[in-house]
């Protein structure tokens, strides 16, 4: 870690000024303190540890929900954070041989708790933000002879504005001591309530007012499960599972196609035009109640998550996906299955006939699954053609759908060369609709084919590519802009439909920056005088 690397630096030997901040709202805070003490002891150093309640609690909660984490990394109750703070304070005092404890708080009960926990003769200090907690800490200093360090952010207005806004949000929260202390309607007993007593009085440690990740979309549907790649043990287990799955994967048929990223992998046998026509003729609508269809598709979603390691291996080998992108794609596919199941039940959907679903190579599981899940949930039959280069992952997905209970005559996989089987899939009179994701040129060609042979009103659901732009003006922080530019342009190997293709940068936004090359000037599109933008 960075902390360990710095403390190992020989030039810092004998210097006791190195400090680390630990947030008590983190459930791993006590373990972090243990690690810091062990590190200081091993390196024969003394360090300072500043204990705070924690910042950006709502962000931590929301990220965990969106990422599908099994649990939150922070406590979901304010009282639990206050209890954690006191527990960590007690631990810090026991580590005073290597750690100088610093307690940053504006909460009177917490201050009193720290004073009560402090052993006689152990040096420590309180800390407060400039302009806050003055009366509290001045009183404590006089009565308990404590020390208090005053800290303040230093920098330009544009850099400190976010800090100010965060402080206003924190101090304005109903649960904030700083807010409650000035509320004359609250009795002192409530403002200074013992958090331990409050926690002992709750029915569950989890806060019922904060949704767990799995219940984020309840009652409509369950959220897809995520993975914490910051957990090294979990990451190692995931890698081992993927490695173990590789030898067990199906090897496909006799048609070998080189993947877009140069992987030499086997694919399922391709169909010719006659075979696809036969598939359209024999595929039937899904003759089951909407409730039964929804239940089966939800079971398929569970099977997707059950076989995650094999799916990740296929995505890596077939489409060159990184582990992060593999997880995102699997979760999107699972969400599609559950979302369309819920929508079909809510709308009492009924099918039109047999749909041709044509999907691309860049998202060979998510888009492939989304197209057929929507059609199947409504009761349609589906003939699904994946991209030529990623048919193996499509075959695996279809097997899971069949295993879950989708009838084999309601879902047929039709791998093949697009130029050969495409006209049949989009022009056969057996087709009741087409779902397509790919280039605009191909979508227009499909539209012409359908117009020439199919009844008026036959739906074409097409998602095509576009030229996506980002505007970076002078108010943007360069480090944040660069991070977002790189993620948008290059994540998923730049193959997202929403990937950044054109960057507009205001001249004084990155003044003197050498990050971006091949610039040319263009007129100001925003109507503001004396400013211009560069196109990248």
Q: Which helix (H) or strand (E) holds 411?
A: strand 411-413
Q: In whole angstroms, how far apart are CA 505 and each of 156, 469, 536?
A: 22, 11, 8
Task: Give CA–CA dist 377/351, Å, rounded.
Answer: 8
Tell me what percent of the chain is helix, strand and coil, each rounded to the nearest 5. 50, 15, 35
Q: Which helix (H) or strand (E) holds 19?
A: strand 19-23
Query: Is the link from the previous residue into 301 a cis peptide, with omega within 30 of 0?
Result: no
User: Half-sphere exposure of residue 503, counting CA atoms within 13 Å on the CB side?
Assistant: 21
Task: Give CA–CA dist 244/238, Å, rounded.
Answer: 10
β strands within 115-179, DSSP E = 125-129, 148-151
Task: Give CA–CA dist 356/425, Å, rounded.
Answer: 6
Show the tokens assigned to 34: 């243990």
- Residue that has been written with the tokens 């309601």 in this structure: 410
User: Chain-centre distance of CA 436, in angstroms?
Assistant: 27
Task: Give CA–CA dist 51/32, Å, rounded.
Answer: 11
Strand 468-472 and strand 500-506: the pairing is parallel
Task: Give CA–CA dist 60/51, Å, rounded.
Answer: 18
Among 83, 364, 67, residue whose Cα is nearest residue 234: 67
Helix (H, G, I), strand (E, B) or coil at 501: strand
Task: Give CA–CA dist 141/164, Å, rounded.
Answer: 27
Interhelix angle 108-117/78-94, nearest 10 degrees: 30
Task: Give CA–CA dist 182/171, Å, rounded.
Answer: 11
Beta bridge partners of 266: 256
Catalytic residues: 463, 497
Task: Give CA–CA dist 285/512, Å, rounded.
Answer: 62
């Amino acid at each position: 870690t960075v902390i360990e690397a710095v403390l190992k630096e020989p030039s810092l030997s004998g210097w006791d000024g190195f400090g680390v901040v630990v947030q008590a709202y983190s459930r791993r805070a006590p373990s972090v303190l243990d690690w810091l003490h062990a590190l200081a002891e091993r390196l024969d150093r003394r360090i300072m540890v500043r204990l705070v309640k924690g910042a950006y609690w709502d962000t931590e909660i929301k990220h965990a929900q969106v990422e599908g984490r099994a649990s939150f990394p922070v406590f979901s109750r304010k009282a639990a954070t206050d209890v954690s703070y006191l527990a960590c304070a007690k631990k810090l005092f026991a580590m005073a041989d290597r750690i100088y404890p610093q307690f940053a708080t504006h909460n009177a009960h917490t201050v009193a708790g720290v004073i009560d926990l402090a052993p006689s003769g152990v040096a420590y200090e309180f800390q407060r933000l400039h302009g806050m907690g003055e009366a509290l800490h001045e009183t404590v200093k006089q009565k308990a002879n404590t020390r208090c360090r005053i800290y303040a952010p230093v920098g330009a207005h544009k850099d400190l504005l976010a800090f100010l806004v965060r402080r206003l949000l924190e101090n304005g929260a109903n649960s904030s001591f700083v807010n409650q202390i000035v509320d004359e309607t609250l009795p002192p007993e409530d403002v200074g309530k013992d958090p331990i007593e409050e926690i002992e009085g709750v029915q569950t440690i989890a806060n019922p007012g904060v949704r767990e990740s799995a219940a984020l979309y309840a009652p409509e549907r369950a959220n897809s499960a995520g993975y914490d790649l910051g957990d090294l043990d979990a990451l190692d287990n995931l890698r081992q599972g993927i490695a173990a799955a590789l030898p067990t994967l199906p090897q496909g048929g006799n048609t070998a196609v080189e993947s877009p990223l140069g992987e030499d992998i086997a694919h399922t046998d391709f169909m010719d035009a006659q075979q696809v026509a036969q598939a359209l003729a024999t595929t039937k609508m899904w003759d089951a109640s909407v409730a039964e269809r929804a239940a089966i598709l939800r079971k398929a979603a569970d099977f997707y998550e059950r076989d995650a390691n094999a799916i990740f291996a296929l995505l890596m080998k077939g489409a060159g996906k990184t582990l992060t992108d593999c997880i995102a794609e699997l979760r999107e596919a699972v969400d599609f299955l559950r979302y369309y199941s819920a929508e079909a039940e809510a709308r009492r959907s009924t099918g039109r006939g047999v749909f041709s679903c044509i999907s691309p190579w860049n998202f060979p599981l998510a888009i492939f699954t989304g197209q057929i899940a929507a059609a199947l949930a409504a009761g349609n039959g589906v003939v699904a053609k994946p991209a030529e280069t990623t048919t193996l992952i499509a075959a695996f997905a279809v097997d899971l759908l069949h295993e879950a209970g989708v009838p084999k005559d309601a879902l047929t996989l039709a791998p093949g060369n697009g130029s050969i089987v495409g006209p049949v899939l989009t022009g056969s009179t057996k087709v009741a609709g087409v779902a397509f994701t790919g280039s605009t040129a191909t979508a227009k060609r499909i539209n012409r084919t359908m117009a020439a042979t199919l009844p008026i009103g036959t739906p074409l659901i097409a998602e095509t590519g576009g030229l996506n732009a980002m505007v970076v003006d002078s108010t943007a922080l360069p480090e944040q802009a660069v991070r977002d530019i790189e993620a948008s342009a290059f994540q998923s190997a730049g193959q997202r439909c929403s990937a950044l293709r054109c960057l507009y940068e205001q001249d004084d936004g990155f003044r003197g920056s050498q990050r971006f090359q091949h610039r040319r000037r263009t007129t100001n599109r925003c109507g503001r005088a004396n400013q211009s933008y560069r196109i990248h």
